[in-house]
């Protein structure tokens, strides 16, 4: 056979087929959160403001790499004994141990008796997905209740993992607070064994968290009904500035001796967004169960991404195990949380100064990275079109993307939307 002939024949015959085998593929919509950044990037306006995705910015509007992270990276680079071998399927052992301590407390009895298994995953999202895939294979009740509303990716993650997704009432637009009665009613109607997704702190998008007393009531109901809590902890330290205070909800559910899952992310609290560092912990009744559970979690991870990346987890492990660096981290974390809180005050004051109609107290009361403004889709569209302010269409704004310099522009936009728009 003449090889040249074969090549030219296939090259020309390719075009004879005409259309693509993917011709039927339709254009998908942009992601409701990450798509906001895509739209923002296309806008040439010099005053444009991106308050869509929850990513921390400095007062100068720049992304922040924590000083302690830079120090840890320097140590990594200088240490010639560090290699780039594959990690085990469950990730870096030291990272897992330290992450469990951070979540459940340094002297957690559950960790001491080894009834917790912790595996390194791809940030919060990957941890949720691995946990969900494990539950879809091994939990007898494949229904998960997620709050209404919740982070937009939750429903997709759990559905694709094979769980059936239902919602429970969470937010009351009338009070801009927790619909505690609705929450209790919906969870008490859930079938025994159903999984319940809970935001450990700084609920996204509402910024509304239960009080400790309310958490205690939720805990009692969940235990009474035999429901399985799955905590999403994406903002530990970001809500109050204290790592321990922000973990209290989760720790209540571990202290009672019961079982739960927790997905941790270091994206926000260590600013490691793009490094994709996170952990999934499954708290079991006994060490024996935990060890069998871990063996099955490995079977979820191996065909999904084989084993997790080494760099980000090494940074976290260095910081968490060194007292000095840990302390430096808590100071930097508190500074980020405080800056967000001060943005709340500044935005509130700016709206008050403009006499913007409405009660804006919720800006001060809500917790964490976001303010759930109560602005409607049309008002958001107006602010984007006329003021180049980018935010998600549900009226959520990332307070972490705001600075003293940009508060007046945002307040002008909100004022105009409320007084002139729809």
Task: Cite the active site residues.
Answer: 151, 232, 268
Task: Report the C-alpha dihedral over residues 77, 81, 84, 86, rounded to 10 degrees.
Answer: -140
Does residue 151 bind ligand PLA (CB under 6 A)?
Answer: yes
- Minimum CB separation of residue 380 from ligand PLA in Å reads 15
- Identified binder of ligand PLA from the candidate list 50, 99, 120, 125, rule CB under 6 A: 125
User: Per DSSP, which regions of 99-214 are E strands?
Assistant: 116-122, 143-148, 164-169, 171-172, 177-178, 195-199
Cβ proximity to ligand PLA: between 33 and 218 the closer is 33
- Minimum CB separation of residue 221 from ligand PLA in Å reads 22
CA gap 247, 249 in Å, rounded: 6
CA gap 121, 307 in Å, rounded: 8
Centre a 10 Å sphere on the Cβ of residue 244 and count the other Cβ atoms it contains.
Answer: 14
Whole-angstrom CA distances from 334 to 154, 339, 366 are 27, 8, 17
- Minimum CB separation of residue 115 from ligand PLA in Å reads 25
Does residue 195 bind ligand PLA (CB under 6 A)?
Answer: no
- Could you check whether the bond before residue 149 is cis, i.e. omega within 30 degrees of 0? yes
- Identified binder of ligand PLA from the candidate list 96, 117, 123, 371, rule CB under 6 A: 123
Question: Do the beta carbons of residue 207 and residue 303 sit within 8 Å?
Answer: no
DSSP 241: S
- Taking Cα atoms as reference points, which of 136, 145, 138, 140 lies closest to residue 163? 136
- Identified binder of ligand PLA from the candidate list 232, 294, 332, 394, rule CB under 6 A: 232
* Choices 119-127, 173-181, 239-247, 322-330; region in contact with ligand PLA by CB under 6 A: 119-127
Within 168-237, residue ranges assigned H as helices are 180-188, 212-225
CA gap 417, 115 in Å, rounded: 53
Cβ proximity to ligand PLA: between 249 and 350 the closer is 249
* Choices 22-30, 121-129, 188-196, 377-385; region in contact with ligand PLA by CB under 6 A: 121-129
Cβ proximity to ligand PLA: between 199 and 362 the closer is 199
Applying CB under 6 A, what is the total number of residues that bind ligand PLA? 15
- Identified binder of ligand PLA from the candidate list 204, 249, 269, 371, rule CB under 6 A: 204
- Identified binder of ligand PLA from the candidate list 197, 234, 239, 310, rule CB under 6 A: 234
* Choices 4-12, 68-76, 118-126, 413-421; region in contact with ligand PLA by CB under 6 A: 118-126
Subset of residues 36 to 65 that bind ligand PLA, contact rule: CB under 6 A: 53-54
- Taking Cα atoms as reference points, which of 152, 167, 171 lies closest to residue 210? 171
- Minimum CB separation of residue 307 from ligand PLA in Å reads 18
- Minimum CB separation of residue 204 from ligand PLA in Å reads 4
Tokens of 85: 């071998």
Does residue 340 bind ligand PLA (CB under 6 A)?
Answer: no
Residues belonging to the chain: 422
3-state secondary structure of 172: strand
Tokens of 102: 């951070």
Site residues (vs ligand PLA, CB under 6 A): 33, 53-54, 123-125, 151, 153, 199, 204, 232, 234, 265, 267, 278
């Amino acid at each position: 056979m003449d090889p040249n002939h074969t090549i030219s024949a296939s090259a020309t015959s390719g075009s004879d087929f005409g259309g693509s085998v993917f011709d039927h593929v339709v254009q998908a919509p942009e992601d409701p959160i990450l798509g906001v950044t895509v739209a923002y990037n296309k806008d040439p306006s010099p005053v444009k403001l991106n308050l869509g995705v929850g990513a921390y910015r400095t007062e100068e509007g720049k992304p922040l790499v924590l000083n302690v992270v830079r120090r840890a990276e320097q140590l990594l680079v200088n240490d010639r004994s560090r290699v780039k071998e594959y990690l085990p399927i469950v990730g870096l052992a030291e990272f897992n141990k330290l992450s469990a301590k951070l979540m459940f407390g340094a002297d957690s009895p559950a960790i001491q008796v080894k009834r917790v298994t912790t595996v390194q995953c791809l940030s919060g999202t990957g941890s949720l997905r691995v946990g969900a895939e494990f539950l879809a294979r091994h939990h007898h009740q494949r229904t998960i209740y997620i709050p209404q509303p919740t982070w937009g990716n939750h429903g997709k993650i759990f559905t694709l993992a094979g769980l059936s997704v239902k919602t429970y009432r969470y937010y009351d637009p009338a009070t801009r607070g927790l619909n505690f009665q609705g929450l209790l009613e919906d969870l008490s109607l859930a079938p025994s064994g159903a999984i319940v997704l809970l935001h450990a702190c700084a609920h996204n998008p509402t910024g509304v968290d239960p009080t400790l007393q309310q958490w205690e009531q939720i805990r009692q109901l969940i235990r009474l009904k035999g429901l399985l809590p799955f905590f999403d902890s994406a903002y530990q330290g970001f809500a109050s500035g204290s790592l321990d205070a922000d973990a209290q909800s989760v720790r209540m559910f571990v202290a009672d001796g019961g079982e739960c899952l927790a997905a941790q992310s270091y994206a926000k609290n260590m600013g490691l967004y793009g490094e994709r560092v996170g952990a999934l912990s499954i708290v079991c009744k006994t060490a024996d169960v935990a060890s069998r559970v871990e063996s099955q979690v490995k079977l979820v991870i191996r065909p999904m991404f084989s084993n997790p990346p080494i760099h980000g987890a090494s940074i976290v492990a260095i910081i968490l195990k060194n007292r000095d660096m840990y302390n430096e981290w808590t100071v930097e974390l508190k500074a980020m949380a405080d800056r967000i809180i001060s943005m709340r005050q500044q935005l509130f004051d700016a709206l008050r100064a403009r006499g913007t109609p409405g009660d804006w107290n919720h800006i001060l009361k809500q917790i964490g990275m976001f303010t759930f403004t109560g602005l409607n889709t049309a008002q958001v569209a107006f602010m984007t079109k006329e003021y180049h302010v980018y935010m998600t269409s549900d009226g959520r704004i990332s307070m972490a993307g705001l600075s003293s310099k940009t508060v007046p522009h945002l307040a002008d936009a909100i004022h105009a939307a409320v007084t002139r728009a729809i």
